[in-house]
Amino acid sequence: MSGARGAGILLLAFPLVLAAQIHVERDSSGQIVISNKGSKAASGSSSSGHISVNAGKPLPPVSLQDVESIRGKLKLACAANGLDYSLVSALVRAESDFRPNVLSNKGAIGLMQLMPETARRFGVSNPWDVDQNIQGGTAYLKFLKDTFNNDIPLMLAGYNAGENAVMKYSNKIPPYGETVRYVFTILNDYGSSYLVERAKKQLATPSDYDEYYVARKSYHPTMRVFYMFFDSHGIRTICDTQPVGVTYTQIVYKDDWY
């Protein structure tokens, strides 16, 4: 997830239990708000109180053709921004598993999981568009690369928690369980034992590696298929059952790194 950790996001949907009818809209300050407010446009779809993380349709496999297309776009964006494609590929695998239609429970969107504020900051008008999402995500990574002098562990921590969180802890990896797991998951996938050892020395709290990564190495985001559409009031709405009478898009709803 790119941008400040939980940056202004109001969440009424928790990681293990999720309202069956979810609304995604903007509040008076322009922030994304996810709530369980009902929708007339979704009245044709059933809603049964709460659904578990196993609700929703199982994820279909990503086609090799789609993955190769995304890889080609990523390589071009990495070359344009002076980024290591292998590192960015590992980041995308952690963020969305190369799926361009992912929405996280914190409101992060798309292939590179851009928070709405981060998307706007880097000129992205539609983060659901894969080309814009890649442009915004790689632009943010270039900014983090310049900000932290090409320090890869800090770049990754900044991408997940926001650069201000890293600076708050004197340019250390913040003591957030999600961020610690995120950084070490990507570094191990990237295949650099040197960077893993270096990152251990950059933790704001040294015990975080064992507490948040080693002990919870098997933790991964839970992703399921949901449906997105605009209701009669123009509000973007997410639901777990196929809606009736509206044009919808299948998306992947992701519970983050708990």
Whether 211 is a known active-site residue: answer no
The helix (run of H) or strand (run of E) holding residue 130 is: helix 130-147
Tell me the Ramachandran region of residue 97: left when phi exceeds 0, alpha when psi lies from -120 to 50, beta otherwise.
left
Closest CA to 91 of 186, 155, 161, 163: 186
3-state secondary structure labels for all residues of 56-118: CECCCCCCHHHHHHHHHHHHHHHHHHCCCHHHHHHHHHHHHCCCCCEEECCCCECCCCECHHH
Other C-beta atoms within 10 Å of 17: how many?
12
The residue written with tokens 């709803």 in the block is 253
Closest CA to 73 of 51, 100, 105: 100
* Both structure tokens of 137: 């995500």
CA distances from 65 to 68, 85, 91, 222 (A): 5, 19, 20, 24
Of 25, 68, 95, 117, the catalytic one is 95
Catalytic residue ranges: 95
